[in-house]
Chain A
Amino acid sequence: MTNVLTRHIEQRDQARLAVALRGGAYEGLRRALKLSPAELIAEVTASGLRGRGGAGFPTGRKWSFIHPQPGQPVYLLCNADESEPGTFKDHYLLKHDPHLVLEGIAIAAHAIGAAKAYLYMRGEYASIARDVQAALQEASAAGILGDHCLGTDFSLQIEIQLGAGAYICGEETGLIQSLEGKRAYPRVRPPFPAVHGFVDQPTVVNNVETLANLSYILVEGAQAFAALGTDRSTGTKLICISGAVARPGVYEVEMGYPLLEALRREAAGVRLGRRLKAIIPGGTSVPVLTAEEAAPVMIDYESMQAAGTMLGSGGMIVFDETADMPKALLRIAEFYAHESCGECTPCREGTGWMAWVLRRLVAGEGRPGDLELLLRVGGNIEGRTICGLGDASVQPVRSFLQKFRPEFEALLPPARDAGPEWQRHGHGPRTARHGAPGDEALRSEPVDGPPDAAL
């Protein structure tokens, strides 16, 4: 298998500049600096590289949106907030091959004309931040980064910034706010960061893994990179396999590699010889796949999409036959309720509400109609929030409920249970829109379909 990202990862002391240089570090930057920004963007566009932060947006295209006014500064922000549950690949890269990431940052900065870049790392990565800082200092002292990188006109100051531990700081506008010293409340788009980003200037936010691919693309050529993987998903992907597997860890696979094959070969299969029940293929923000659904799926953007899910961050969470799916979903829902930044109404209130309902279901205190309520609440979040966290919180709820419904139904009380006292009597006034007037207030189950149902 071709290694793009992990070629030197097992090299002892790869974080030290001398060792990294022996392996060819910064060769990509040297070549990039010989190209004009436009040529560089064209090269990366030709490679077909897509963002590894979750959405898979073409990297060359993202860069091409940067059109600063004369004299306007441009910023590159490297997103190392890595908080998507089940994801730990950026940590792996930064820890074992920081120069690969720093080189990628420099290449991207040159492409977009940034003289300043920030590496935004989640607060929990403080220990590796020290090592990355040391690597940065070594590279700067050697004249590779900093003023006049590799003896050229291009200068780049890279600064490492630590977050304080919030999932939302990984969302690009939340990250920008946090970097500005503000509460990480995402911004309404438009305007997009490419126009009004960090300190209101044109800004690109790229994931660590995205940037780590650049060295290879420059050294081996866009064609070589594009030859890897599939037509539209080029290159390789770091996958983080966790959960019920024998050998959890980070593995690099070529795009288009069969999902279950990766499980079997890389992670040594499901633990204790149990049967696979389900797999979340791209971090908890993407829909879960049942074992049957996962069988034909390949690790690439298109195949995942065809299966109704997403490659996301590549955080793969494996459930074996003993997994309690409602409990697992509750854990996930609690994560989103806890991490919702609370800025916009649907996500702030909806994530908490879904977690409540799941909590009482799992505690054996479910109420009739709770599953419908969950889906309705999810439907009222989706597509109506400021940032992607709201949508992300709904994906697991909907897919778990759809694919493992009997497990949830088993938690519901027998149909005759009238539900809690306060709900038995009509609450507040009601109009015809919300159901028929009359005796409905005395019926036992919640009768008012969603307010939307009548529309």
Chain B
Amino acid sequence: MPMVTIDGRQIEVEPGTSIIQAADRLGVEIPRFCYHPDLRPEGNCRMCLVEVDGFARLAVACATPVADGMVVRSPHTSPQASQAVNGVLEFLLVNHPLDCPICDQAGECSLQDFYMHPDYGLHKSHVDPAEKVHKRKRIDLGPRIVLDAERCVMCSRCVRFSADVSGKAELQFIQRGNHVELMAFEDRALEDPYAGNLADVCPVGALTSRDFRFKRRVWHLEHTNSVCAGCSTGCNVRIDHFQNHIERVVPRRNPSVNSSWICDEGRLSWQAAQGGERLTQPASGGGYPPEIRWSEAVKAAHELLTDRGERPLAVLGSASATNETLLLLRRYAEQAHSEHWLDFRLAEEVQLVGEREDQLLRRRDKHPNTLGAVYLGLAGARGGLPAMLEAAQTGEIGALLLVYYPPLVGEESAGVAEGIARLLANVPRSVVLTTHRLPYLQGAALQLPVAAWSEEEGTYTNFAGTVQVVERAIIPPGMSRPATAVLADLVEHQVYRRPDADAERLFAELARTVPAYQGMDYAMLDSRTATTYPPEGRMHYGQEGFAGR
């Protein structure tokens, strides 16, 4: 394997690795605009120029593969490269409007980061602002993206994303020289279901997210790592929030799951979790009892579920619940005083779990944890919702504990909604743990409010069996609590001993008891160790920099 020396430090890398990738691994900072780890290199911005021993000219680190014995000097150690990078940056500013004060990218803009950086920027302007080439601003590219052509640095990341990643090829440059301008054909609205990523790949404020624009200055945001719960793919995301309110969700790079991308539905799925009418306190028979404390609610639930005579207890989990919730749910079912019927299937989750909806990321199973439920043995012989409904109609079920999360992408299918409503109608003793006030849940004897996605910690197992951690970003509204806490309360009522409700310890138990998780350690789980780009704590090169906290 080739051994390369960068700024005096050596590293061995796979053949075909580019200089910039080797430098990233070494932690040597090489400035860049057009390079993106998940896009084909184009070498157009010339910001990554480095000196290579034996080369007649400076080389672009992003498009030059390493060779064995190569000696590279970054701008930090090479005056020649430093001067070149200075020059390139100055060129980028010649026609840049520098409207940072009103630019939504400010604070996470590569151009701003570099020109404010004493190693690369801080030029004295030689250009009369009146002489600058002006281009179009505030161009409507549909529901996701707004284009400001004047701020564009022509790095072509968006063009490459559109052409090579999503395959829609909706963007192109027009004109020549310093009049080059990005354009969507005839300014048509982008049809790309992944268009939101364009705002992330854009290193400057040329492509901004219509959804997030002007909502919050980015330096006010707090960041929490999570995993999208929109479908079984489990794209890694970062939740950006402020004062207990989610402002946006951006992808977090994980080459083995979602590269640097997420779909637009997943990106906006937080709106489904936060929006609608949330259930904020325990409710019975569709109405809110005035003032009910959690201890009373749990006691009521316990009584509803246990006073059922000899008839069995039905427990219907959810493929949208965390593994930890499902573990406690299983424990609750197993410790029921009589026979129980445990399942989680509402419809075809298991059949759909791996099925692609398109060639990039989306899958047809709109649940984040179907495989987790299967691994926990929740797909029993007797069947899920349809079978339970049949049994309930003949009075075979004594009581029902349902954990239900409405889908974050798309609507619940009419069949499932109706099935749930009829099941609740046929089982008078029913307790539902849920996040929202939904018409088809109103038949429940008791509804308990639980935390939605982004409000609790735990793990999901995606379609490929990858276990990933979701962290808690914000506090659940009103009285709602994480389902694990509510279930722990219920188990405590059953066995007079409170189980652990802490996600990390619950996972330790999963690792001990579920064969698929043998030997796994919460602290080592994928989403925590997933490659972040660029390396933690360093400057962000556009929003794909998921520096984390």
Contact = CB atoms under 8 A, between A and B. Distances in A.
Contacts of A386: 43-44, 46
A341 B154 CA distance: 11
B549 interface: no
Given A340-B176, A428-B124, A348 B154 contact: yes
A348 B178 contact: yes
A410 to B, nearest CB: 22
Contact of B87 (A183, A340, A342, A346): A346
Contacts of B153: 345
Interface string A163-200: 00010100000000000000101001000000000000
B83 A420 contact: no
B92 A383 contact: no
B122 interface: yes
Interface stretch (B127-135, B262-270, B362-370): B127-135
A393 B122 CA distance: 27
A244 B126 CA distance: 37
A188 B48 CA distance: 14
Contacts of B289: none
Contacts of A430: 122, 124
Contacts of B133: 352
Contacts of B129: 422
A447 to B, nearest CB: 8
Contacts of B45: 344-345
Interface stretch (B57-65, B139-147, B375-383, B428-436): B57-65
B110 interface: no
A340 B133 CA distance: 15
Contacts of A420: 128
Interface residues of B, number: 45
B47 interface: yes
A251 interface: no
B42 interface: yes
A351 B82 CA distance: 21
Nearest to A337: B177
A423 interface: yes
Contacts of A383: 57-58
B46 A344 contact: yes
B91 A339 contact: no
Contacts of A455: 79, 82-83
B13 interface: no
A126 B63 CA distance: 37
A360 to B, nearest CB: 9
Given A188-B42, A188-B63, A339 B177 contact: yes
Contacts of A433: 118, 122
A342 B88 contact: no
B170 to A, nearest CB: 15
A18 B180 CA distance: 49
A345 B177 contact: no
Contacts of B149: none
A359 to B, nearest CB: 10
Given A349-B91, A452-B86, A384 B49 contact: yes
Contact of A429 (B63, B122, B154, B179): B122
Contacts of B49: 384
**Chain B interface helix/strand/loop/mixed:** loop
B125 interface: yes
B131 to A, nearest CB: 6
Interface string A414-434: 000000101100111111011
Interface in B26-59: 41-47, 49, 57-58
B288 interface: no
B136 interface: no
A103 to B, nearest CB: 35
A446 B87 CA distance: 17
Interface string A344-367: 111011111100100000000000
A448 B124 contact: yes
B47 A345 contact: yes
Interface in B161-182: 172-173, 175-180
A434 B123 contact: yes
Given A446-B126, A448-B124, A384 B87 contact: yes
B181 to A, nearest CB: 9
A338 interface: yes
A273 interface: no
A342 B154 contact: yes
B130 to A, nearest CB: 8
B57 to A, nearest CB: 5
A343 interface: yes
A307 interface: no
A423 B156 CA distance: 33
B90 interface: yes
Contacts of B90: 380, 451
Interface string A378-398: 011001111000000000000
A183 B172 contact: yes
Given A346-B88, A349-B95, A385 B83 contact: no
A346 B83 contact: no
B94 interface: yes
Interface of B: 41-47, 49, 57-58, 60, 63, 79, 82-84, 86-88, 90-92, 94-95, 118, 122-129, 131, 133, 153-154, 172-173, 175-180
Interface of A: 166, 168, 183, 185, 188, 337-346, 348-353, 356, 373, 379-380, 383-386, 420, 422-423, 426-431, 433-434, 446, 448, 450-452, 455
12 contacts: A168-B176, A188-B44, A343-B44, A348-B177, A349-B94, A352-B94, A353-B127, A383-B58, A422-B129, A450-B83, A452-B86, A455-B82
The 8 A-B residue pairs with the shortest CB-CB distance, nearest first, are A380-B87, A342-B180, A352-B178, A452-B83, A349-B91, A188-B43, A340-B177, A455-B79
